[in-house]
Amino acid sequence: MFDTIKEIIDYSNEHDMSFAEIMIQDEMERSGQSREEVREQMKQNLEVMRDAVKKGTTGEGVKSVTGYTGQDAIKIKNYNENNHSLSGNEMMQAVMGAVATNEVNAAMGIICATPTAGSSGTIPGTLFKLEATHGLTEDQMIDFLFSASICGRVVANNASVAGATGGCQAEVGSASAIAAASAVQIFGGSPEASGHALAISLSNLLGLVCDPVAGLVEIPCVMRNAIGSGNALISADLALAGVESRIPVDEVIEAMGKIGRNLPAELRETGLGGLAGTPTGEAIKRKIFGDSEVKS
Protein backbone atom coordinates (compact mmCIF):
# COMPACT_ATOMS: atom_id res chain seq x y z
CA MET A 1 0.00 0.00 0.00
CA PHE A 2 2.84 2.39 0.84
CA ASP A 3 6.40 2.32 -0.45
CA THR A 4 7.86 4.94 1.89
CA ILE A 5 7.35 6.40 5.34
CA LYS A 6 6.79 9.79 3.71
CA GLU A 7 3.79 8.37 1.86
CA ILE A 8 2.37 7.16 5.19
CA ILE A 9 2.98 10.56 6.75
CA ASP A 10 1.33 12.36 3.85
CA TYR A 11 -1.68 10.02 3.86
CA SER A 12 -2.01 10.40 7.63
CA ASN A 13 -2.11 14.18 7.31
CA GLU A 14 -4.40 14.26 4.31
CA HIS A 15 -6.98 11.93 5.85
CA ASP A 16 -6.49 12.86 9.51
CA MET A 17 -5.80 9.21 10.23
CA SER A 18 -3.32 7.61 12.62
CA PHE A 19 -0.69 5.14 11.44
CA ALA A 20 -2.57 2.45 13.34
CA GLU A 21 -5.86 3.20 11.64
CA ILE A 22 -4.21 3.19 8.22
CA MET A 23 -2.78 -0.26 8.93
CA ILE A 24 -6.06 -1.59 10.31
CA GLN A 25 -7.98 -0.52 7.22
CA ASP A 26 -5.32 -1.98 4.96
CA GLU A 27 -5.44 -5.28 6.83
CA MET A 28 -9.23 -5.36 6.65
CA GLU A 29 -9.06 -4.84 2.89
CA ARG A 30 -6.35 -7.45 2.40
CA SER A 31 -7.86 -10.13 4.61
CA GLY A 32 -11.56 -9.50 4.16
CA GLN A 33 -11.94 -9.57 7.94
CA SER A 34 -13.90 -7.18 10.09
CA ARG A 35 -12.29 -4.51 12.26
CA GLU A 36 -13.08 -6.58 15.34
CA GLU A 37 -11.43 -9.67 13.87
CA VAL A 38 -8.30 -7.77 12.85
CA ARG A 39 -7.95 -6.15 16.26
CA GLU A 40 -8.57 -9.46 18.01
CA GLN A 41 -5.67 -11.02 16.13
CA MET A 42 -3.37 -8.22 17.19
CA LYS A 43 -4.65 -8.54 20.74
CA GLN A 44 -3.52 -12.18 20.68
CA ASN A 45 -0.04 -11.01 19.66
CA LEU A 46 -0.07 -8.59 22.57
CA GLU A 47 -0.97 -11.35 25.00
CA VAL A 48 1.86 -13.56 23.71
CA MET A 49 4.23 -10.70 24.42
CA ARG A 50 2.77 -10.17 27.88
CA ASP A 51 3.04 -13.85 28.73
CA ALA A 52 6.70 -13.93 27.69
CA VAL A 53 7.59 -10.96 29.87
CA LYS A 54 5.71 -12.51 32.79
CA LYS A 55 7.42 -15.87 32.33
CA GLY A 56 10.86 -14.30 32.21
CA THR A 57 10.28 -12.21 35.33
CA THR A 58 8.47 -14.71 37.56
CA GLY A 59 10.10 -16.90 40.18
CA GLU A 60 13.63 -17.76 39.11
CA GLY A 61 13.01 -16.79 35.50
CA VAL A 62 14.13 -18.99 32.61
CA LYS A 63 17.41 -20.41 31.33
CA SER A 64 18.44 -21.47 27.86
CA VAL A 65 19.32 -25.06 27.06
CA THR A 66 22.99 -24.13 26.81
CA GLY A 67 22.93 -22.35 30.14
CA TYR A 68 24.74 -19.34 28.73
CA THR A 69 21.76 -17.01 28.99
CA GLY A 70 18.87 -16.68 31.38
CA GLN A 71 17.71 -15.33 34.73
CA ASP A 72 19.19 -11.89 34.10
CA ALA A 73 15.70 -10.39 33.90
CA ILE A 74 15.18 -11.53 37.49
CA LYS A 75 18.44 -9.85 38.51
CA ILE A 76 17.30 -6.65 36.82
CA LYS A 77 13.90 -6.86 38.52
CA ASN A 78 15.47 -7.30 41.95
CA TYR A 79 18.00 -4.54 41.33
CA ASN A 80 15.29 -2.15 40.19
CA GLU A 81 13.13 -2.87 43.22
CA ASN A 82 15.93 -2.27 45.69
CA ASN A 83 18.02 0.50 44.15
CA HIS A 84 17.83 3.91 42.56
CA SER A 85 19.21 2.79 39.22
CA LEU A 86 21.69 4.97 37.36
CA SER A 87 19.60 5.20 34.20
CA GLY A 88 16.34 5.53 36.12
CA ASN A 89 13.98 2.86 37.37
CA GLU A 90 11.49 3.47 34.58
CA MET A 91 14.13 2.89 31.93
CA MET A 92 15.28 -0.26 33.69
CA GLN A 93 11.70 -1.51 33.62
CA ALA A 94 11.88 -1.40 29.82
CA VAL A 95 15.23 -3.18 29.94
CA MET A 96 13.75 -5.88 32.16
CA GLY A 97 10.90 -6.58 29.75
CA ALA A 98 13.21 -6.68 26.77
CA VAL A 99 15.66 -9.06 28.41
CA ALA A 100 12.89 -11.27 29.79
CA THR A 101 11.35 -11.73 26.35
CA ASN A 102 14.61 -12.68 24.69
CA GLU A 103 15.50 -15.03 27.51
CA VAL A 104 12.20 -16.81 26.91
CA ASN A 105 13.08 -16.99 23.22
CA ALA A 106 16.52 -18.45 24.01
CA ALA A 107 14.82 -20.97 26.31
CA MET A 108 12.64 -22.13 23.38
CA GLY A 109 9.55 -20.45 24.81
CA ILE A 110 6.76 -18.75 22.88
CA ILE A 111 7.41 -15.18 21.76
CA CYS A 112 6.06 -12.83 19.12
CA ALA A 113 8.71 -12.09 16.49
CA THR A 114 8.68 -8.30 16.23
CA PRO A 115 10.05 -8.24 13.61
CA THR A 116 12.29 -11.26 14.34
CA ALA A 117 12.91 -13.68 17.18
CA GLY A 118 16.31 -12.11 17.80
CA SER A 119 14.71 -8.69 18.21
CA SER A 120 11.55 -9.89 19.93
CA GLY A 121 12.23 -8.10 23.23
CA THR A 122 12.63 -4.54 21.99
CA ILE A 123 8.96 -3.72 21.37
CA PRO A 124 7.57 -5.52 24.46
CA GLY A 125 10.20 -3.86 26.63
CA THR A 126 9.13 -0.47 25.34
CA LEU A 127 5.41 -1.16 25.31
CA PHE A 128 4.93 -2.71 28.75
CA LYS A 129 7.12 -0.05 30.32
CA LEU A 130 4.79 2.58 28.90
CA GLU A 131 1.78 0.65 30.15
CA ALA A 132 3.22 0.58 33.65
CA THR A 133 4.47 4.16 33.81
CA HIS A 134 2.00 6.01 31.59
CA GLY A 135 -1.17 3.98 31.95
CA LEU A 136 -1.66 2.84 28.38
CA THR A 137 -4.96 1.10 27.80
CA GLU A 138 -5.22 -2.19 25.95
CA ASP A 139 -6.64 -0.40 22.93
CA GLN A 140 -3.69 1.99 22.89
CA MET A 141 -1.27 -0.91 23.10
CA ILE A 142 -2.97 -2.66 20.20
CA ASP A 143 -2.79 0.58 18.21
CA PHE A 144 0.91 0.78 19.07
CA LEU A 145 1.43 -2.61 17.47
CA PHE A 146 -0.51 -1.69 14.35
CA SER A 147 1.55 1.47 14.02
CA ALA A 148 4.74 -0.56 14.37
CA SER A 149 3.44 -2.95 11.74
CA ILE A 150 2.96 -0.38 9.01
CA CYS A 151 6.35 1.20 9.70
CA GLY A 152 8.02 -2.19 9.86
CA ARG A 153 6.59 -3.20 6.52
CA VAL A 154 8.22 -0.22 4.83
CA VAL A 155 11.56 -0.92 6.53
CA ALA A 156 11.42 -4.57 5.51
CA ASN A 157 10.52 -3.80 1.91
CA ASN A 158 13.12 -1.07 1.45
CA ALA A 159 15.99 -2.44 3.50
CA SER A 160 15.82 -5.55 5.68
CA VAL A 161 14.75 -6.92 9.05
CA ALA A 162 16.99 -10.00 8.84
CA GLY A 163 20.39 -10.24 10.47
CA ALA A 164 21.55 -12.61 7.74
CA THR A 165 21.15 -9.89 5.12
CA GLY A 166 21.53 -6.66 7.08
CA GLY A 167 23.23 -7.30 10.40
CA CYS A 168 21.66 -6.60 13.78
CA GLN A 169 20.89 -3.03 12.68
CA ALA A 170 18.19 -4.68 10.59
CA GLU A 171 16.81 -6.62 13.56
CA VAL A 172 17.17 -4.72 16.82
CA GLY A 173 17.69 -1.48 14.88
CA SER A 174 14.45 -1.89 12.97
CA ALA A 175 12.53 -2.99 16.06
CA SER A 176 13.80 0.00 18.00
CA ALA A 177 12.94 2.40 15.19
CA ILE A 178 9.36 1.25 14.69
CA ALA A 179 8.83 1.21 18.47
CA ALA A 180 10.01 4.82 18.65
CA ALA A 181 7.70 5.89 15.84
CA SER A 182 4.77 4.11 17.47
CA ALA A 183 5.41 5.65 20.88
CA VAL A 184 5.27 9.11 19.32
CA GLN A 185 1.99 8.21 17.62
CA ILE A 186 0.38 6.95 20.82
CA PHE A 187 1.42 10.04 22.77
CA GLY A 188 -0.02 12.53 20.34
CA GLY A 189 2.99 13.41 18.24
CA SER A 190 2.54 14.47 14.65
CA PRO A 191 3.06 12.07 11.76
CA GLU A 192 6.25 14.00 10.95
CA ALA A 193 7.49 13.56 14.52
CA SER A 194 6.95 9.81 14.23
CA GLY A 195 9.10 9.83 11.12
CA HIS A 196 11.82 11.73 12.94
CA ALA A 197 11.70 9.28 15.85
CA LEU A 198 12.11 6.37 13.45
CA ALA A 199 15.00 8.09 11.69
CA ILE A 200 16.81 9.05 14.89
CA SER A 201 16.41 5.61 16.43
CA LEU A 202 17.60 3.77 13.34
CA SER A 203 20.47 6.22 12.83
CA ASN A 204 21.70 5.48 16.34
CA LEU A 205 22.16 1.79 15.55
CA LEU A 206 23.42 1.94 11.96
CA GLY A 207 26.25 -0.50 11.38
CA LEU A 208 25.31 -2.79 14.26
CA VAL A 209 26.63 -6.22 13.31
CA CYS A 210 25.00 -9.60 13.80
CA ASP A 211 27.56 -11.82 15.51
CA PRO A 212 25.77 -14.51 17.53
CA VAL A 213 28.18 -16.59 19.57
CA ALA A 214 28.02 -20.24 18.46
CA GLY A 215 25.38 -19.15 15.96
CA LEU A 216 22.74 -19.08 18.70
CA VAL A 217 20.34 -16.23 19.41
CA GLU A 218 21.70 -15.71 22.89
CA ILE A 219 24.99 -13.79 23.15
CA PRO A 220 24.92 -10.81 22.54
CA CYS A 221 21.36 -10.85 21.18
CA VAL A 222 19.53 -10.80 24.51
CA MET A 223 21.26 -7.68 25.81
CA ARG A 224 21.04 -5.84 22.51
CA ASN A 225 17.28 -5.78 22.94
CA ALA A 226 17.78 -3.86 26.16
CA ILE A 227 19.61 -1.21 24.15
CA GLY A 228 16.85 -1.35 21.52
CA SER A 229 14.15 -0.50 24.06
CA GLY A 230 16.18 2.27 25.65
CA ASN A 231 17.01 3.75 22.27
CA ALA A 232 13.35 3.67 21.23
CA LEU A 233 12.23 5.59 24.32
CA ILE A 234 15.00 8.17 24.05
CA SER A 235 14.36 8.69 20.34
CA ALA A 236 10.62 9.06 20.92
CA ASP A 237 11.25 11.68 23.60
CA LEU A 238 13.62 13.56 21.31
CA ALA A 239 11.00 13.66 18.56
CA LEU A 240 8.23 14.68 20.95
CA ALA A 241 10.51 17.48 22.16
CA GLY A 242 10.70 18.77 18.60
CA VAL A 243 14.13 17.40 17.68
CA GLU A 244 14.33 16.49 14.01
CA SER A 245 16.49 14.13 12.01
CA ARG A 246 18.49 16.11 9.47
CA ILE A 247 18.49 13.08 7.18
CA PRO A 248 14.98 12.22 5.93
CA VAL A 249 13.60 9.00 7.35
CA ASP A 250 13.40 7.15 4.05
CA GLU A 251 17.01 8.03 3.29
CA VAL A 252 18.01 6.62 6.68
CA ILE A 253 16.20 3.38 5.84
CA GLU A 254 17.91 3.27 2.45
CA ALA A 255 21.29 3.85 4.12
CA MET A 256 20.64 0.97 6.52
CA GLY A 257 19.96 -1.32 3.59
CA LYS A 258 23.17 -0.30 1.83
CA ILE A 259 25.23 -0.70 4.99
CA GLY A 260 23.79 -4.16 5.50
CA ARG A 261 24.71 -5.25 2.00
CA ASN A 262 28.25 -3.95 2.52
CA LEU A 263 28.80 -5.85 5.77
CA PRO A 264 31.08 -8.87 5.33
CA ALA A 265 29.43 -12.26 5.63
CA GLU A 266 31.27 -12.83 8.92
CA LEU A 267 29.17 -10.05 10.47
CA ARG A 268 25.79 -11.17 9.15
CA GLU A 269 24.51 -13.92 11.45
CA THR A 270 27.09 -16.53 10.40
CA GLY A 271 28.58 -16.75 13.88
CA LEU A 272 32.08 -16.29 12.48
CA GLY A 273 33.09 -12.70 13.19
CA GLY A 274 32.69 -10.05 15.85
CA LEU A 275 32.05 -11.43 19.33
CA ALA A 276 31.49 -14.90 17.87
CA GLY A 277 35.06 -14.87 16.56
CA THR A 278 36.72 -13.96 19.85
CA PRO A 279 38.69 -16.62 21.75
CA THR A 280 35.91 -16.89 24.31
CA GLY A 281 33.25 -16.99 21.63
CA GLU A 282 35.07 -19.83 19.88
CA ALA A 283 35.51 -21.66 23.18
CA ILE A 284 31.80 -21.47 23.88
CA LYS A 285 31.09 -22.83 20.42
CA ARG A 286 33.45 -25.77 20.99
CA LYS A 287 31.88 -26.54 24.33
CA ILE A 288 28.40 -26.63 22.80
CA PHE A 289 29.08 -28.28 19.46
CA GLY A 290 32.53 -29.86 19.69
CA ASP A 291 35.75 -29.22 17.77
CA SER A 292 34.46 -30.47 14.40
CA GLU A 293 31.84 -27.74 14.23
CA VAL A 294 34.40 -25.02 14.93
CA LYS A 295 36.82 -26.28 12.26
CA SER A 296 34.21 -26.66 9.53
> DSSP letters of 63-86?
B-SSSSSBSHHHHHHHHHHHS--T
The pLDDT, as a whole number, for residue 293 is 52
CA 234, CA 184: separation in Å to the nearest integer? 11
The region, left, alpha or beta by phi > 0 then psi within -120 to 50, assigned to residue 63 is beta
Q: 170-215, pLDDT tens digit by residue?
A: 999 999 999 999 999 999 999 999 999 999 999 999 999 999 999 9
Give this prediction's pTM.
Answer: 0.96
Q: 63-96, pLDDT tens digit by residue?
A: 999 999 999 999 999 999 999 999 999 999 999 9
